[in-house]
Structure formats: structure tokens, C-alpha cells
Amino acid sequence: MERTALPRRLEWQLGQVVAIVDETPRTRSLLLDVPNWPGHTAGQHVDVRLTAEDGYQAQRSYSIASPPEERNVVLTVERLEDGEVSPYLTEVLQEGDQLELRGPIGGYFTWRVADGGPLLLIGGGSGIVPLMAMLRHRAAQHSAVPARLLYSSRAFEEIIYRQELAQLAAADPTLMVTHTLTRQQPPDWTGYRRRIDRAMLAEVAWPPSEQPQAFVCGPTALVESVASALVDLGHEALRVKTERFGPSGGTA
Amino acid sequence: MTKEFFSRGFLGRRREVTEAGRLPPGQYLTDGFPVLSAGPTPYTPKDRWDFTVVGAVETPQRWTWDEFQKLPRETVTADIHCVTKWSKFDTRWSGFSLDMLLATAKPQGQYLLAFCDGGYVTNLPLADVTNNKAWIVDTYDGAPLPPEHGGPVRLLIPHLYFWKSAKWVRGLRIVEEDQPGFWESLGYHNYGDPWKEQRYQGD
């Protein structure tokens, strides 16, 4: 059937790497200058395309870590041991290199200050990335929408954005950041030391009566169990938005 | 504009010969079976489950779980392609042909909306689910379809990107005019042909 206006295609464009930040031993942030960036909403992602000299190409999707307010588009990439694209992005790509991308993509797992709250963010590993864009957006807007982040990492050194999260929470009484470390904890660790479960959610998450907007992002197993537990605790399924992350070769 | 561009130092992993011609542009092959969905996995008890064909049809249809299970089965082996770029070859399914499920209903419209537990909807031309191109499947690799993969039943339409193969599908609404579904309203392509790389609107 005919449509009145054809939607515009998301064109591939070149961004330039203006800086690289090591976040954790396995994770790097790429700060990209993308001249024709159309703007984005926190939570969206981009497609990245690598082209070898003989024309061979590989594409993957990466969440945007930067808020819409920031000039650069920032991607935080976790190196997957047997990956094809992430080892290049985390080990080969250098400042001054160019990177081909198109986006922003995805209109569901997104949050704007105007969407209100309270905001319930639950992440595992590199699943923090789109959630961080939301927290950065919220901070950039000086929003007082109450927010809670529950973030599961394997070890203290693997907490992505650890210092920035601590700073954000210290400066903002309406933001609560809770960590759990599932495999290894420092000797003086007083926080949670297990995978996110129903009991932890009952303690940390907003009660269902507050009707929080929940965003859950991480490996499939985490997302499945957290989303089910939230529904089980009484949160309405339609207010629980999920995004899966990580290697696609798993046992899922 | 970016034709001349190549990624300094990128070698890539070359496809094996067996992949030639089977992998749509921009896709990579995986052995796993990634899970993607926009919200929590719904769990509908079998005694409250039904499957319906409604809308612009001559005779609306409804099957309970037990009735559904008595319908003639087909097995399907197919390559599947997800818009998030993974493809998986030779996936094995068992279920019920849409040709059969639609035959008694006699659709009067040329499009349909597949509706699901959890509120998900996707739109399809009728021509893409008839003539041995689409199934409702309840079995994957010889075992009941796990909930996170769409169980108890999902659509299987291998020739389109896999978001069209809606999980937790509960029925089909035949319509006379095409109308975008969930992802189709959120920037994804209305039709989704992997061989034309129709990922997003305007592709």
C-alpha cells in the first residue's frame, strides 16, 4: 500500500575517534566526532561497520553511552574473546582513526527526562551502557526524577564507569547506586556478593506501588531472571523494558 | 561517500565456503541462539491458552491447546536471520502450517497482524505467510520451545528478519490495509527482507 512519505534512510557515515578511555581491563570507551549526527535519545544504539582492504565487511550493534547533550557520540565496547569486531574496536582502533556507523537505532528502550519516573535501572556487565546514557542525560538536565541503579559486575575492577557512578550518586540525593559483585569481592566489600535475585530486587528496587519505569539490560540469563522477578514482585510487565547484551554464541 | 573507506588494520574473519550464498548481507553466523525481546517473558497457562484467526475472514477460528495439538504437524529446517545481525543455519522446528490454519478461515484481506502475549504485534502481507512459507511452531530441536524463545508457540517465517517470527503468538488478525506493528512503528523496516538488508525504515 502507498505511503505518503518514504522514511529517510539511516545512512552510513564516518566518525572520527577523538579519544579513547580505558574503562576496565576488557572495556573501552570510544569518543567519536560524527559530523552529521542527527541526535539521539538515551538508550539507543548504533550499527558499526568495519571494512577490510579487500572489501570484506562486518557489522555489529553497540549502545550509545553518551547523553544527547554531549557533543561526541561515545560507544563503550566490551572485548569478547572470540569476537570479530570487538577485539578490533578495543585493541586496534586508535585516536585519529575513522569508524563507519549509522544510527541512532531503537525507539523503545529509551528514556527522556520528560518521561518521568521513578527510574529503575538494572544492569549486568556491559549492559550498563544504555543505562549510563540515561543517568548522564538525567544529570545533564539536572532532573530530580528519583532514580535507582542496581548494577551487577563480576569483580570490582570490572565495574564500568565506577568512579563516575560514585560521583553522580554522591552529588545527588535522588540517585541511589547499588552494586553487586558476583565472582570476586575486595576484602573490605560490604555490598551484595551474589547474582541479582528476587530478594535483592525487593530490597533495592522501588516497590510496585511507585510504578517505576524499569529498564533491564545485560546478558540473557540476567535479563530473563530480573524481568520475571520484577513481574513476580508485582511490577506491570509493560513498564519493564528489556535489552539483551553480550556474545551471541552462548548457550541461550 | 564512504565507498573508498576501509578500517585501518581490520582483517576480519573470512566466511567458510559452506556459508557462501547462505548468509545475507551484513549478517554473521552464530552457533548459539541469542534471545531478544522488548519486555518480560510472558507465561500463559495452557488451560487459558488459545489460538485464533480473526478479523477479515469468512469464518473466525479458535483452537484450544488440546485442539491445536491434534492438528497435522510439519517439520521445518530453515536458516534464520535476526536484524541484530546474527544468522543461524539449519534450525529444526516442528509445528503447524499457516496454510492449514488459514484455509478454514478464508481470509478476505491481503495483510495480517500477528498478536502475542505481552502485547507484541507484527504485520505481514498474507502472501508472505501462505504457500508453504510460514508456520506456528511449538518444538525447537526436538524439544518443547522454551519460553524465552517464544514458547509455547511462536511464528516461524524464515524468509524475513526474525522479529517477524513473533514469539508467544496467540493469533492472527486478517486486515484489509497494512498497518505497522511494534518494531515497525519504532524505526524498523515494514517488510524486513534480509537479502535486501531491509533493517530500518528507508532501507
User: Tell me: the pLDDT tens digits for B137-176?
Assistant: 999 999 999 998 999 999 999 999 999 999 999 999 999 9
Residue A170 φ/ψ region, left for φ over 0, alpha for ψ in the -120 to 50 degree band, beta for the rest: alpha
- Flag whether pLDDT at A246 surpasses 70: no
pLDDT value at position A1? Answer: 42
Buried b (16+ CB within 10 A) or exposed e, B100-120: ebbeebebeeebbbbbbbbeb
* Chain A positions in Cβ-Cβ contact with residue B177 (cut-off 8 Å): 1
- Let me know: does B194 contact B24? Beta carbons within 8 Å: yes
Going by their DSSP bridges, the two strands B121-125 and B74-81 should be labelled as: unpaired
* Rounded Cα distance, A100 and A85, in Å: 12
In the three-class reduction of DSSP (H, G, I as helix; E, B as strand; rest coil), residue B21 is classed as coil
pLDDT value at position A29? Answer: 98
**Nearest residue in B to A227, CA atom:** B40
Determine, for residues B148 and A52 on separate chains, whether the beta-carbon distance falls below 8 Å: no
Instruction: Tell me the pLDDT tens digit for each residue of A152-204.
Output: 999 999 999 999 999 999 999 999 999 999 999 999 999 999 999 999 999 99
Determine, for residues B177 and A1 on separate chains, whether the beta-carbon distance falls below 8 Å: yes
Burial status of residue A54 (CB atoms within 10 A of its CB: 0-12, 13-18, 19 or more): exposed
Q: What is the mean pLDDT of chain A?
A: 93
* Chain A positions in Cβ-Cβ contact with residue B185 (cut-off 8 Å): 107
Determine, for residues B26 and A57 on separate chains, whether the beta-carbon distance falls below 8 Å: yes
Q: Measure in Å the smallest separation between the Cα of B173 and chain A Cα atoms.
A: 18
pLDDT value at position B33? Answer: 77
**Nearest residue in A to B111, CA atom:** A1
Residue from B7, B27, B117 to probe the interface with A (highest A Cβ count within 10 Å): B7
- Flag whether pLDDT at B17 surpasses 60: no
Task: Give A248's pLDDT tier (boundaries 50, 70, 90).
Answer: very low
pLDDT value at position A244? Answer: 83
- The domains located in chain A, with CATH, are 13-105 (2.40.30.10), 113-244 (3.40.50.80)
- The domains located in chain B, with CATH, are 45-196 (3.90.420.10)
**What is the rounded average pLDDT of the residues B57-62?**
98
From A10, A92, A98, residue closest to B202, measured CB to CB: A10
Q: Measured between CB atoms, does B45 come within 8 Å of chain A?
A: no
From A6, A51, A61, residue closest to B6, measured CB to CB: A51
From B9, B10, B201, residue closest to A7, measured CB to CB: B201
Q: Measured between CB atoms, does B179 come within 8 Å of chain A?
A: no
What is the value of pTM for the model shown?
0.93
In the three-class reduction of DSSP (H, G, I as helix; E, B as strand; rest coil), residue A103 is classed as strand
Sequence letter at residue B114? A
Instruction: Tell me the pLDDT tens digit for each residue of A86-112.
Output: 999 999 999 999 999 999 999 899 999
Q: Measured between CB atoms, does B10 come within 8 Å of chain A?
A: yes
Determine, for residues B35 and A108 on separate chains, whether the beta-carbon distance falls below 8 Å: no
* Chain B positions in Cβ-Cβ contact with residue A220 (cut-off 8 Å): 34-35, 148
Q: Tell me which residue of A9, A198, A43 sits closest to B197, measured CA to CA.
A: A9
Determine, for residues B34 and A224 on separate chains, whether the beta-carbon distance falls below 8 Å: no
Q: Measured between CB atoms, does B146 come within 8 Å of chain A?
A: no
pLDDT value at position A229? Answer: 97
- Flag whether pLDDT at A5 surpasses 70: no
**Nearest residue in B to A105, CA atom:** B187
Residue from A233, A248, A251 to probe the interface with B (highest B Cβ count within 10 Å): A248
- Flag whether pLDDT at B51 surpasses 80: yes
> How many CB atoms neighbour CB A130 within 10 A?
27
Q: Measured between CB atoms, does B72 come within 8 Å of chain A?
A: no
Q: Which of A49-53, A79-83, A108-112, A198-202 has the lowest mean pLDDT?
A: A79-83
pLDDT value at position B192? Answer: 97
From B42, B183, B202, residue closest to A6, measured CB to CB: B202
Going by their DSSP bridges, the two strands B154-156 and B135-140 should be labelled as: antiparallel
For residue A96, what are the contacts with CB-CB under 8 A and spacing of at least 6?
Answer: A16, A17
pLDDT value at position B11? Answer: 87
pLDDT value at position A165? Answer: 98
- Flag whether pLDDT at A4 surpasses 70: no
Determine, for residues A57 and B12 on separate chains, whether the beta-carbon distance falls below 8 Å: yes
pLDDT value at position A251? Answer: 30
pLDDT value at position A3? Answer: 46
Residues in chain B: 203
pLDDT value at position B15? Answer: 63
